[in-house]
Homo-oligomer: A and B are copies of this chain.
Amino acid sequence: MVVTLKDIAKKTGKSVTTVSRALNGYDDVSAETKALVLRVAKELGYSPNTWAQRLQKQHTETIGLIIPTFGPRFSDPFFSELLAGIGNRAAHLGYDLLVSTRAPGEEELIAYRAAIQGRRVDGFVLVRTRRQDARVTCLQEADFPFVAFGRAEEKIDFPFVDEDGTYGMKLVTKYLASLGHQRIACIAPPPNLMFAHYRLQGFKEGLMEAGIPADDSLILIGDLTQRGGYEQANKLLDLPSPPTAIAACNDLMALGAMSAAQDRNLMVGKDISITGFDNIPMAEYSHPSLTTLHQPLYQIGGMVCEMLIQLIQGEPLEEKNILLKPELIVRQSSGLSSTQS
């Protein structure tokens, strides 16, 4: 049923060794033998048993990705875009991608450890880094190759790609201020996530540079989903003195916030300005279209994947740490403050 090297050896009258070497293009096999072997292999529809190969070669040509699912699902376009980038680049470089989902916590670490010790993958892509990220220490202790999308808190040294969230949020906050907004709210991500820290900091710096006093009642934390954005926006709009602009720290929450505003018959882009972060495909097609910061997730996935594979293959990285500047995309969801009128 399944064709092995032995079958080819028997059919060609050569040894298993020779067949193997012929197929792998060694030059200590004569041209005619090689041709014969190749022909027979094709005839029988041979392709090598992956497990035997990997057992022998001690590497797997597979990279791992364990998606940290907060809550029951991950229909987050953030992940799917990133996943596409990683997966396509991996396929292109001849690597497989092994995907799992684990909620952050003990289970998650067990999955990492099992994959490492069981040599199931050659390296990991780490996404959405956290403060005191146990995954990082786990991988570093095992001296296992990995590249992260996101930085770590302490000055821990590891290869990563990240977007400059501080820069981005500062940009958009100052932009909102330049439109005349004085009461600018922020819907921030859960603070244990590293990017939350950077984005929130950018928001605060932006306010400061615009000369707007900080007001902690205008900073709420959302769970990164549309529903979360909706709920937090409602709280903001219920304030005695509600904000005229909301800078959400991701697009999904921004879209939720837009729904909340529209439910109150506010014209988003006129009565209130709302901005996001990520520039997911949805952002362009929402109504009004969403002002946001563009983060090339698909490309980032590709970069991270490529760096990891270089690392695995022992090639030196040109750049170990890459920080990308997000680009402000102004669309219709933001406009001049109407409080003056």
Contacts and interface: CB of A to CB of B under 8 A. Distances in A.
B96 A101 contact: no
Contacts of A50: 118-120
A281 interface: yes
Contacts of A73: 81, 84-85, 88, 298
Interface in A67-108: 67, 69, 73-77, 79-81, 83-85, 87-88, 91, 96-102
Interface size, A (range): 35 or more
Given A2-B117, A287-B287, A97 B96 contact: no
Interface in A115-145: 117-120
A99 B74 CA distance: 16
A305 interface: no
A98 B100 contact: no
Question: What is the copy number of this chain in the assembly?
Answer: 2
Contacts of A259: 285, 287
Contacts of A96: 98, 100, 120
A96 B62 CA distance: 12
A48 B115 CA distance: 10
Contacts of A77: 75, 77, 80
B118 A47 contact: yes
A178 interface: no
A173 interface: no
Interface stretch (A52-60, A147-155, A209-217, A231-239): A52-60
Nearest to A288: B287
A262 interface: yes
Given A75-B77, A77-B80, A259-B285, 18 more contacts: A45-B113, A47-B117, A48-B118, A51-B60, A73-B81, A73-B85, A74-B84, A75-B280, A79-B80, A80-B80, A84-B101, A87-B101, A96-B98, A96-B120, A99-B99, A226-B281, A258-B287, A285-B286
